[in-house]
């Protein structure tokens, strides 16, 4: 359950009074999510008709110094007609506050649910929404380096320690070392870049039918290659949860949706096979690290690194996939 911080009723009421959203009516902890603590907040609203918000308390994984980028980007994309929640600024105009040493933000509530078995129509809509984010980020002034690019993957893998990967699966160490070296050596330079989401998994997309109603969780967003973001989204959407079954129809729909809004250049197309191996490596590395470092008895469910080792192998064995 992802509510790591305890906030009493009085704390919450005092906190909500710092925003012009009406008085607190209810607050319920949200079980989904692993990084931060989230509550669904109901208030009287400015007009007394009721209003809903998400309250996020940022835990260790989110650097407070990155919040101006993340929250500024959400506001920017929301202003540019992307389905992204805006942040509610407090009465002093601040996008985030601190309480007991932790940063927190009040965020617009968006309707919709996260799908677990996407349809082609939904994959197409997600591709189009991603392309809109890439275009709308064009005049966002702030930059943030991708801390989970190739150098960050190597750090995570090194952090798994001698024999760590083999403890997860006997063949994992060899696969990762060989792939990491190849991906690093061939990583493309000079492709179009800008603001990317970098973690657009189904659980970070809210949908109603085929409509994308919310893109959330911008806490890995950064400045990097657009085509890498396409590859991340491809790896996240086009396989079953175990990474065993690739769905070619979802893949075609996702890419067609993206290209209907922002066509990929020939160089971006050519780079996709390698970028997809990189995307699989990114989640394999963070999941393997977490797998080995999450204490027994922790409240969060560890995510299976092998689901991305299988994707990595699939991308490696099918370089013609994006042709």
* Footprint on this chain of ligand HSE (rule: CB under 6 A): 199, 201, 283, 286-287, 303
Pick 18 or 203: Cβ nearer ligand ATP: 203
Cβ proximity of 54 and 41 under 8 Å: yes
Q: How far apart are CA 126 and CA 278, in angstroms?
A: 21
Q: Does 32 bind ligand ATP (CB under 6 A)?
A: yes
Residue 292 binding: pick among ligand HSE, ligand ATP, none (C-beta 5-8 Å cut-off by kind) = none
Residue 30 binding: pick among ligand HSE, ligand ATP, none (C-beta 5-8 Å cut-off by kind) = ligand ATP
Q: Does 216 bind ligand ATP (CB under 6 A)?
A: yes
Q: Which residues contact 297 (CB under 8 A, 6 or more apart)?
A: none
Pick 253 or 279: Cβ nearer ligand ATP: 279
Cβ proximity of 118 and 124 under 8 Å: no
Mark residues 176-215: x for contact with ligand ATP by CB under 6 A, - for none.
---------------------------xx---------x-
Least distance (Å) from ligand HSE to the CB of residue 303?
5
DSSP structural state of residue 303: P
Pick 156 or 274: Cβ nearer ligand ATP: 156
**DSSP structure string for 117-175:** S--HHHHHHHHHHHHHHHHHGGG-------TTSHHHHHHHHHTT-TTHHHHH-TTHHHH
Residue 33 binding: pick among ligand ATP, ligand HSE, none (C-beta 5-8 Å cut-off by kind) = ligand ATP
Q: What is the SS3 assignment for 255?
A: helix
Q: Does 105 bind ligand ATP (CB under 6 A)?
A: no
Pick 199 or 229: Cβ nearer ligand HSE: 199
Q: What is the CB neighbour count within 10 angstroms for residue 301?
A: 8
Query: Among 7, 15, 76, 85, which residue interacts with ligand ATP (rule: CB under 6 A)?
Result: 85
Q: Looking at the chain, how many residues does it have?
A: 323
**DSSP structure string for 72-121:** HHHHHHHHTT-S-PPEEP-TTS-S-EEETTEEEEEEE----B--SS--HH
Q: Does 38 bind ligand ATP (CB under 6 A)?
A: yes
Least distance (Å) from ligand HSE to the CB of residue 13?
32
Pick 103 or 253: Cβ nearer ligand ATP: 103
Q: What is the CB neighbour count within 10 angstroms for residue 114?
A: 15
Closest CA to 261 of 322, 205, 212: 212
Least distance (Å) from ligand HSE to the CB of residue 190?
27
Least distance (Å) from ligand HSE to the CB of residue 320?
26
Q: Hey, what are 93's tokens?
A: 């105009």
Distances (CA, A) of 313 to 236, 239, 254, 309: 15, 13, 21, 6
Q: Does 29 bind ligand ATP (CB under 6 A)?
A: no
Least distance (Å) from ligand ATP to the CB of residue 173?
27
- Tell me the CA end-to-end span of the chain in Å, nearest whole number: 42
Burial of 198 (0-12, 13-18, 19+ CB in 10 A): buried
Least distance (Å) from ligand ATP to the CB of residue 160?
20
Pick 21 or 67: Cβ nearer ligand HSE: 67
Pick 16 or 197: Cβ nearer ligand HSE: 197
Pick 216 or 221: Cβ nearer ligand ATP: 216
Least distance (Å) from ligand HSE to the CB of residue 189?
25
Least distance (Å) from ligand HSE to the CB of residue 201?
4
């Amino acid at each position: 359950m992802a509510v790591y911080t305890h906030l009493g009723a009085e704390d919450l009421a005092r906190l909500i009074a710092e925003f012009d959203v009406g008085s607190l009516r209810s607050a319920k902890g949200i079980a989904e999510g692993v990084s931060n603590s989230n509550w669904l907040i109901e208030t009287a609203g400015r007009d007394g008709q009721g209003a809903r918000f998400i309250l996020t308390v940022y835990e260790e994984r989110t650097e407070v110094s990155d919040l101006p980028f993340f929250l500024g980007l959400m506001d920017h994309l929301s202003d540019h007609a992307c389905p992204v929640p805006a942040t509610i600024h407090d009465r002093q105009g601040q996008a985030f506050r601190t309480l007991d040493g932790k940063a927190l933000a009040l965020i617009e509530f968006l309707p919709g649910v996260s799908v677990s078995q996407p349809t082609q129509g939904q994959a197409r809509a997600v591709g189009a929404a991603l392309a809109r984010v890439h275009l709308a980020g064009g005049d966002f002034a702030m930059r943030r380096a991708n801390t989970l690019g190739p150098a960050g993957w190597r750090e995570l893998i090194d952090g798994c320690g001698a024999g760590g990967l083999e403890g997860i699966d006997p063949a994992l160490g060899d696969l990762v070392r060989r792939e990491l070296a190849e991906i690093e050596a061939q990583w493309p330079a000079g492709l179009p870049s800008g603001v990317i989401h970098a973690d657009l998994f189904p659980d970070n997309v809210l949908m109603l039918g085929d409509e994308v109603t919310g893109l959330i969780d911008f806490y890995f967003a950064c400045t990097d290659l657009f085509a890498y973001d396409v590859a991340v989204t491809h790896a996240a959407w086009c396989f079953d949860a175990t990474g065993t079954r690739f769905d070619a129809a979802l893949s075609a729909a996702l890419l067609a949706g993206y290209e209907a809004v922002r066509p990929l250049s020939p160089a971006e197309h050519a780079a996709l096979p390698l970028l997809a191996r990189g995307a699989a490596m990114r989640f394999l590395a963070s999941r393997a690290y977490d797998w080995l470092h999450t204490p027994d008895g922790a409240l969060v469910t560890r995510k299976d690194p092998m689901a991305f080792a299988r994707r990595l192998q699939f991308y490696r064995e099918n370089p013609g996939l994006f042709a």
